[in-house]
């Protein structure tokens, strides 16, 4: 029977043709813009000397943000001589303008500089640390945080940010776990793309857009023993299936630059690794931007045992490293290596071209001063709207780990609260790790936030209770910046006594405890990831009073909290919330916002379980229950985590039921729909992140017990039910097999949907090719 051609059919064909024409026009426009850029850069490079080309590959520090023992001198002369391509660690309209004018007006070819900075979780208005932001599971919120950071950074003359950090981390001892998005490659990739889009905006030429720099390429989060700058060793299968996907997602999102990591990959330091920087990144993934080293990572290749600075610099340029950060290896050795034919002019030209293309894409050749607007520097930074956004992000990032007897939310009127702990009346540690432009003096303390919410309607009895730590050696290590951690004049014993007295006069104890700003982040690995002993002593004494005790937990990593979980009435993990910390914490404690955060890293019971992560491979002797001998288990502790990946409570209750699959037998490119009913059976409106996991128990290689493949965040009113559906195609079944081919294999698959990685409803399908 012939199908009738309808008006709707014509409309559909017309729309398809219009889309096709639009696509052709966009592609033609892109091709024209690329051709124009190529012609401009080629023309410029024909005028450049070898020294000027090498100069473009030299990135120096302006001295405001230093992350190593080496700094640069003679920057002004270098800019005028054309031997500096970019500066980082320098910001502020007046300061940036001086340097840009020196480059544009003082150098022979008037080539503008690129200005970069570590803008990690906000520039002036500080958002929660990235690990906290990832706990929101809210991609729009994460993208918005990057967009605000870009606007503030450009308002102070910056056009390049060293973010996002997308390293997968399974070891909570590693300090920089705080700077990433946790342990899952799928979620990490989604967040990486959102951050790139937020930073770079609709066009890099916009005055409020910055070029993102994804880091650290690659595998840096797998440092052995969780120790910063340490070596990494893993199989290609682990790389491709678990650690590389977030970098790839950032490349697919159009990230403009990538930073090499300090570690080795297959025995070769990333900074000189041709397979990594050229074969994988450029040839396999099609990356078109430039690669910059980490802070003196090129020089440090010598320590890896690969030769002197001249030797490793020639290896780096041949491998595909385009820009050398701080170490001046390129500046001091490349010309001689060129004369000795150890490097080619083609490699120097390639790197130079990529740096110049980045500046062209940023619009700096059209207007080197495009973001240098003194009015914006006053009007676009730390605005009320920016602070409101930071407060909302913080509220969404908090994870309710425990809430016995529904002690939270607290009442806004009547009664009394003992507010204790070294982080309760503290502004400095609200911002968290790796904050360059943020001003801790402008942050809101927990005490200030609570006072704003309850005023004089609740009696607040405050006592500091303890130092962050009483260990003077530890304090010296924490104080890489002046005054970051100090000892109180009062003795530890007297401080605890003050806290006990405050608690005796109060109905409820709110103890604000955990890590200080410098206890996580770069160069902040810890072998003991518990709350410091000074604070534990205070908590143990408070527990003896047998009063309800709420812990507000500051941390840049998963902590071991077995005692706290067993003894506290409630635990609210607030990470390091940023500028609006106190306001956000008070809003959640007193019920103005119902917490909805979910963990993106597994919390161990003991540091001895590390590395501990949900998407592990199975073993031939898995432990379930029963006799423990000759199974894969510990003699002294349970295998399970204290809090699993995806975990997070709410003030309300969510009930999952009735998982339905549209089919149980599929073939080829069919589509499967998995639907589950979620009901709010509690007493508060709440948000819930519904998570989809898939297991592949019949594969050609051992596969994870389950993998996150999708998620949806929903809001339910009291008593409301909602059917949540996930669309599953063969793309969600793909993995890299032993031949590193990305494909799916037929067989049985276990579909799981639930509130976290451990509590799910499951069903099985058979899917044939």
Residues that are catalytic: 294
Q: Is 212 left (phi over 0), alpha (psi -120 to 50) or beta?
A: beta
- Integer Cα distance of 393 and 694 in angstroms: 29
Q: Any idea what DSSP says for residue 302?
A: G
Identify each DSSP E strand in 55-167 by its residue range.
Answer: 58-61, 86-88, 114-117, 160-161
Both tokens of residue 452? 């704003």
Q: For the chain, what's the residue count?
A: 769
* Burial class for 412, CB neighbours closer than 10 Å (0-12, 13-18, 19+): middle
- Integer Cα distance of 171 and 230 in angstroms: 13
- Integer Cα distance of 117 and 170 in angstroms: 27
- Integer Cα distance of 64 and 72 in angstroms: 12
- Integer Cα distance of 402 and 264 in angstroms: 40
Cβ-based neighbour number of residue 443 at 10 Å: 24
Contact 661, 571 (CB under 8 A): no
First-to-last C-alpha distance (Å) of the chain: 31
Both tokens of residue 377? 């520097």
For 98-146, the DSSP string reads: HHHHHHHHHSSS-PPPEEEE--SS-SSSPPPPHHHHHTT--HHHHHHHH
Residues in contact with 106: Cβ distance below 8 Å, sequence separation at least 6, in sequence order: 79, 80
Contact 290, 316 (CB under 8 A): no
Residues in contact with 490: Cβ distance below 8 Å, sequence separation at least 6, in sequence order: 464, 498
H/E stretch holding 751:
strand 747-754
Contact 381, 155 (CB under 8 A): yes
Nearest to 62 by CA among 84, 43, 46, 82: 84
533-553 per-residue burial string, b: 16 or more CB within 10 A, e: under 16? ebbebbbebbbeeeebbbbbb
Cβ-based neighbour number of residue 734 at 10 Å: 13
- Integer Cα distance of 678 and 761 in angstroms: 11
Nearest to 312 by CA among 292, 342, 288, 339: 342
Cβ-based neighbour number of residue 122 at 10 Å: 29
């Amino acid at each position: 029977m012939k199908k009738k051609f309808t008006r709707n059919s014509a409309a559909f064909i017309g729309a398809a043709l219009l889309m096709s024409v639009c696509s052709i026009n966009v592609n033609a426009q892109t091709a024209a813009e690329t051709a124009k850029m190529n012609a401009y850069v080629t023309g410029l490079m024909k005028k450049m000397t070898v020294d000027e080309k090498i100069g473009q590959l030299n990135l120096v520090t302006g001295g405001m943000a230093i992350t190593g023992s080496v700094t640069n001198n003679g920057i002004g002369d270098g800019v005028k001589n054309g031997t500096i391509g970019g500066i980082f660690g320098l910001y502020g309209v007046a300061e940036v303008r001086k340097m840009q004018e020196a480059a544009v007006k003082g150098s022979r070819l008037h080539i503008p500089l690129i200005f970069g900075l570590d803008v990690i979780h906000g520039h002036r208005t500080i958002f929660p640390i990235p690990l906290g932001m990832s706990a929101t599971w809210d991609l729009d919120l994460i993208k918005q945080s990057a967009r605000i950071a870009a606007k503030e950074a450009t308002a102070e003359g910056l056009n390049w940010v060293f973010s996002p950090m997308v390293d997968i981390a399974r070891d909570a001892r590693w300090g920089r776990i705080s700077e990433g998005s946790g342990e899952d490659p799928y979620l990490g990739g989604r967040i990486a793309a959102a951050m790139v889009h937020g930073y770079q905006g609709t066009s890099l030429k916009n005055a409020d857009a910055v070029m993102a720099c994804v880091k650290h390429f690659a595998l840096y989060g797998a440092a052995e023993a969780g120790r910063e700058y340490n070596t990494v060793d893993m199989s290609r299968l682990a790389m491709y299936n678990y650690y590389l996907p977030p970098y790839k997602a950032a490349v697919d999102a159009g990230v403009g630059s990538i930073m090499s990591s300090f570690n080795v990959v297959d025995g070769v330091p990333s900074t000189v690794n041709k397979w990594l920087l050229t074969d994988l990144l450029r040839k396999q993934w099609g990356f078109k931007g430039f690669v910059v080293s980490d802070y003196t990572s090129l020089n440090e290749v010598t320590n890896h045992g690969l030769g002197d600075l001249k030797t490793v610099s020639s290896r780096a340029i041949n491998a595909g490293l385009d820009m050398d950060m701080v170490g001046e290896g390129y500046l001091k050795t490349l010309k001689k290596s060129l004369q000795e034919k150890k490097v080619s002019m083609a490699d120097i030209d390639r790197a130079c071209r990529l740096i110049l293309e980045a500046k062209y894409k940023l619009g700096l050749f059209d207007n080197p001063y495009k973001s240098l607007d003194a009015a914006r520097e006053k009007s676009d930074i730390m605005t009320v709207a920016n602070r409101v956004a930071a407060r909302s992000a913080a509220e969404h990032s908090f994870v309710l780990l425990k809430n016995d007897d529904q002690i939270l939310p607290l009442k806004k009127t009547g009664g009394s609260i003992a507010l204790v702990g070294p982080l309760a009346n503290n502004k400095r540690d609200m911002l968290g790790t790796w904050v360059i432009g943020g001003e801790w003096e402008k942050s809101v303390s927990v005490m200030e936030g609570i006072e704003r919410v309850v005023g004089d309607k609740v009696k607040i009895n405050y006592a500091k209770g303890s130092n962050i730590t009483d260990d003077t050696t530890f304090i010296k290590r924490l104080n890489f910046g002046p005054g970051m951690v100090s000892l109180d004049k009062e003795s530890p014993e007297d401080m605890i006594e003050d806290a006990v007295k405050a608690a005796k006069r109060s109905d409820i104890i709110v103890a604000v405890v955990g890590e200080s700003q410098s206890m996580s982040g770069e160069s902040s690995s810890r072998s003991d990831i518990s709350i410091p002993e000074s604070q534990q002593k205070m908590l143990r004494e408070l527990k003896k009073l047998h009063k309800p005790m709420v812990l507000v937990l500051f941390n840049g990593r998963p902590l071991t909290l077995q005692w706290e979980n067993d003894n506290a009435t409630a635990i609210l993990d607030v990470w390091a919330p940023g500028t609006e910390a106190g306001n956000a914490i008070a809003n959640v404690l007193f019920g103005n916002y119902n917490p909805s955060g979910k963990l993106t890293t597994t919390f161990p019971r003991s540091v001895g379980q590390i590395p501990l992560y949900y998407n592990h491979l199975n073993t031939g002797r898995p432990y379930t229950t029963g006799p423990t001998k000759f199974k894969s288990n510990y003699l002294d502790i349970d295998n399970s985590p204290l809090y699993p990946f995806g975990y997070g409570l709410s003030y309300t209750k969510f009930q999952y039921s009735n998982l339905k699959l549209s089919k149980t037998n599929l073939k080829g490119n069919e589509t499967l729909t998995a639907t589950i009913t979620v009901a709010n059976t509690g007493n508060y409106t709440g948000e819930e992140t519904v998570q989809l996991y898939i297991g592949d128990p019949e594969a050609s290689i051992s596969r994870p017990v389950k993998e996150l493949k999708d998620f949806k965040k929903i809001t339910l009113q009291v008593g409301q039910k909602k059917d949540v559906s996930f669309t599953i195609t063969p793309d969600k079944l793909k993995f890299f097999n032993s031949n590193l081919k990305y494909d799916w294999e037929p067989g049985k698959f276990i579909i799981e949907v639930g509130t976290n990685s451990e509590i799910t409803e499951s069903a099985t399908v058979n899917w044939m090719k």
